[in-house]
Amino acid sequence: MSLRKNIAIDLGTANTLVWLAGEGLIVNEPTVVAISADDNKVVAVGEEAKKMLGRTPEALVASRPMRDGVIADYQITEAMLKYFIGKVVGRFQFFKPNVMVCVPAGCTQVERRAALDATLSAGASHAYLIDEPLAAAIGAGIPVSAPSGHMIVDVGGGSTEAAVISLGGVVAHKSVRVAGNKIDEAIQNYLKKKHNLIVGDQTSEDIKLKIGSATPLVKEEKLEISGRDLVFGLPRSVIITSSEVGEAINPVLMQIVGGVKAVLEDTPPELAADIIDKGIVMSGGTSLLRNFDKLMTQETGVPAHVADESLLCVVRGTGLVLENIELWKRSVSTRG
């Protein structure tokens, strides 16, 4: 039995999930880090730091070190990885763990190298990288090694990964840097234009979760929200309806659907026939937006359904690959 722990990390723009081989999901926290402005020391990570977003005094800075699914701030990402690895491994560990991180399929070599370097600097003995759509497909229980086409669409916080997978590899893929965060931004912009109201990230996310829907609802829903008046600068409340939210987020959803259509256009005919039979599997947190699968089916003409525990697909798949690393050697890149 190996004394090294095997850790799989889904380093997302919105949430970071950590999976320990043999035990399952250990950590599921927001990808937010709070650092003190004076000495750049990490003050809080995860849930604790998320509560500080938009509420910090000058001496503290709370930020998201990942943007569009890739590392935007190298040092803060490294500090965050160190924190999460330490949380799993404990403080006194003689053997450094093997760590696998997933990255968007469309990210550049420089972005891949940054992810490997940050993982090694954070205390990994070996660092592995796997493409997100492949990990999501494995985690969703799709038989990826079979000689037939399967389509996975992973809609996260910062990027959407659409890919066709066959024989254990990615045949066609497209990475659109539009996902959950852009939906939140669209809601903020709509409120600013339509209601002269400025709201924070957490309020817009709240609106999306409570009354957001990809297709019009049969029974309209309403929600009272508070923010700052754009003209007078004073706090104010307004009531917003689900159809207004739908109008605000529709252009963003159509960009995501556009990415999926582009992959379908690049798919070889034999695999396209398989996809029509099996449908599109959707994973990632944003796929849980109400009726998103219905919209996808309407727009592409291919039946779409959301995977079970869609938020965990990527990290579970990454964990399974790490446990059977010999089988997946050609699908991962490594350093250590």
Binding site for ATP, residues? 13-15, 157-159, 205-208
Strand partners, 222: 241
121, 78 in Cβ contact below 8 A?
yes
Helix (H) or strand (E) holding 282, with range, is strand 280-283
Cβ count within 10 A of residue 178: 24
Q: Using CA atoms, how far apart are residues 311 and 313, in angstroms rounded to an integer? A: 6
Q: 269 pairs with which residues across the strands?
A: none
Query: What residues form the annotated binding site?
Result: 13-15, 157-159, 205-208
Which amino acid appears at position 82 of this protein?
K
Give CA torsion, residues 46, 50, 51, 53, to 10 deg: 150
Question: Which backbone phi and psi does 151 adopt, to 5 degrees?
Answer: -110, 130
55: Cα separation from own chain's centroid: 24
**What are 103's two structure tokens?**
């990255």
User: Which amino acid makes up residue 212?
Assistant: G
Report the C-alpha gap between 103 and 322 in whole angstroms: 15
Helix extents (H) in 267-307: 269-278, 292-300
Host H or E run for residue 152: strand 150-155
Smallest CA-to-CA distance from 310 within 174, 103, 155, 163 is with 155
Q: How far apart are the first and last CA of the chain?
A: 20
Q: DSSP state, 97?
A: P
